[in-house]
Structure 1
């Protein structure tokens, strides 16, 4: 008598996703293949289709994926910790955005193999997995790509979600698409989440209770020792910033924030003639908009790119038109505004200025950094503003009172120390446990 083996049923939602992603591949493939015949070998889109790229059947201990600059910062901390404990590990790191890839090449190219993250088409993933094998895969924050994760799982890879977070908006979206993402979540052997709120959200969208671990936020642990006082002195000397100059830095500003921030800075400048203002857009394509606002208001400015080439600073407004300097500029600031928060973008990393002991100012939109915003407000290291008028009032109050600045800055730094709690070290332990477990099972 023949026994029938019952095949595990694929949820309808996942079937639809796979079919649509496969059809989309065929629709877009001719365009991308055309690109592969011209241009630079490093063309981003050709690499995302995994065309004209051979890894020669490489085998890695661990592949870490960081979608953009913020996640790359987490990746740097994890890589450094992993290699400090086990220097012989063979690591692969990927990113999606141009900014993330630039930072990867700058910070990690000598420590790891680097790769552009592939598009989640079945055909692309099949090409990728025929050339790359990894014992452990770690996606950072909310990287839930069904074809990739399920493909890795089928190949015997131990998948981990690191520094997991799920905003209220994302939670609602994933909950509606449970048929697609529940099997993906159940393919992770461990899901390391930042806090209990995120743990609850992940469980409600289908993650198993056993796989969920609250580890804290690894993004912040690396900031504790990151400030470089020598680098700070070099920048101040190069820009001619002495004891009389005060500095305001507006970092990671997004579209719609240029006018309110510049207007608040201009008002503060009238009250404090020696104030120097740095405007740092999140994306370089916003530079023309920033310059237009300054020119419209008759404000003279220097471009950071020209100052880097040796041009002497001739204005008290500096527009940063390159990627990279923001963190060090927070270090020379007497107070800092973190953008993406006056407009509904969810904010940026509030703990970067806090790591320098700099008072942190931000708008009401901080869904991407809920825990950081909460502890900064609770401990008195951060101040929320709703508009340009409130931003001016806070800047003015801080610049007038050095003791107040120092106290708030100290509390900001203490908030960082409180929120970190060895999160990166904890997640590194989990990565190594999964690696050892997989190696023993071979």
Structure 2
């Protein structure tokens, strides 16, 4: 990956408000926008749009908590730094490892998902899908080697394209909308709306990723919270618009819910709509992988600085001052995970539950940190407690995967005991 140096003056401050907003949007808008609107509408009918409204409001406290903490404690350690500041090194390190061990699994899943959308149109073999997924990850890794300012500029372009395509999808479907598709409004009862809201939670995870880049924000005290508010508003509007038109055009049910966006676009644009959705999926996966790989490489750097990760995790590029040690660790993990998926050692739908659980545990840690660190801010206090109640309440519903963060914590505890 180029000439390396372990003696670093620190990470460069290169991220201004537009790049911060783009990174947040790219981290939050994931494959959920392709899947969840149709699945939620199938579960709750037209009343699912009420769940979208509620979730768009509930996600604000979580986003605000992360933004306020980033503004006060900008660090490549992100949530782990917040937890370390609030509760000490042991818990801070634990949360850092939660996040770091999420991305090596999550990013390959994203790349395979994006490659599969293209593969369907081009009739690729399974081998070609995994080659494409590997090349996608390699491209994102190299962008992060050159520097986050380059990755952030690419992110800005990619997110702009995603927004444009989603707006096109909504506008193109307007002629096919009908008020008759909103009746009956509540076909499956109010419980189905609550269940749909739980399904939607996964669409709004991602605010924690950009906290790891906050050390590189230009004027974090001002831009961190601005970035959160702008991106939260844009994300909520995009999700709601797509979900509303999914119901208005009845692009769900009958086995088409998982491809509702594609169905909706093809109403006006025909087969080319399939290509639009495929390109959108690819852009979304690139944007999300970019945000998380950038964040994970920096938490690796931070853990090395704290001396609770291998020293080479903290290696910086001599010229670009980027965390190439962390990127190398991720690269090695990506090869292993892609191999596991390719040889069908673990099914993708099962594997994805593991990073979901560690991301959830990371959120709980961040909310707990917010409760203590933002106690002197009325907005911060309310946002932290609201987020904490929501995340703790949903954690037991993760099932067996909820044990993954507990296993990580146990291994860390044993390692720390051996070194004391």
TM range (shorter): under 0.3
Structure with bigger gyration radius: 1
Q: Which has the higher strand share?
A: 1
Structure with bigger RCO (C-alpha 8 Å, 6+ apart): 2
* TM-score normalised by L of structure 2: 0.27
Q: Which has the higher helix share?
A: 2
* TM-score normalised by L of structure 1: 0.26
